Amino acid sequence: MERIFGRPIITQDEMQKRVRELGNQITLDYADKNLLMVGVLKGAFAFYADLVRAIRLLLRVDFIVVTTRATQKRSVAGKIKILSDMAEDVTGQDVLLVEDIVDSGMTVSFLKKKLLARKPKSLKVCTLLDKPERRKVRVSIDYVGFTLPNKYVVGYGLDYQNRYRNLPYIAVMDKVSEAEELFYWQE
């Protein structure tokens, strides 16, 4: 029987190495700043948890929950909404927004606009994954984990219909047999 599953494209080892590099870079860049990290849920939860632990600073954490797309279709700007807002006051803070993936760019663009209106001292964006081929709006990203081709990926926080978020690696959605699926879980 064929099942929808993901073939690994970024392994756990590659992920850990890159997260360490990003953590070191952010530690240097924010050494004399007042870092407030904002994880964009749900997708960024795994990356965010690893990234904050790779930064050696007295940072503060917060979260924002936005609507995600129910399908693989492109997001529609008008449909992006904040489901649950941050608790911390952004005004005067050095804010680093942490995303799972930037695709059309609409979600990041929407969030940047919302947060900039609250007058942070600075606002930067870090994303684990970037799919620049699919960009619809221009948005500057300050830290990128991996640049990917135009494929739908799951794992390490990213979902397909709210599943596969617990895969410990990043995989491309594909049709695989049950035997292959078992193999990939054991990777």
Sites of contact with ligand 5GP (CB under 6 A): 43, 68-69, 75, 99-107, 152-154, 158-160
Which CB atom, from 89 or from 133, has the smaller least distance to ligand 5GP? 133
Which CB atom, from 35 or from 46, has the smaller least distance to ligand 5GP? 46
Which CB atom, from 26 or from 167, has the smaller least distance to ligand 5GP? 167
Q: Cβ 33 to ligand 5GP, closest distance in Å?
A: 25
Q: Cβ 18 to ligand 5GP, closest distance in Å?
A: 17
Q: Cβ 136 to ligand 5GP, closest distance in Å?
A: 7
Q: Cβ 68 to ligand 5GP, closest distance in Å?
A: 4
Which CB atom, from 105 or from 145, has the smaller least distance to ligand 5GP? 105
CA distance 120 to 99: 18
103 included as an active-site residue: yes
Of the residues 50, 94, 100, 103, only one is catalytic, namely 103
Catalytic positions, written as ranges: 103
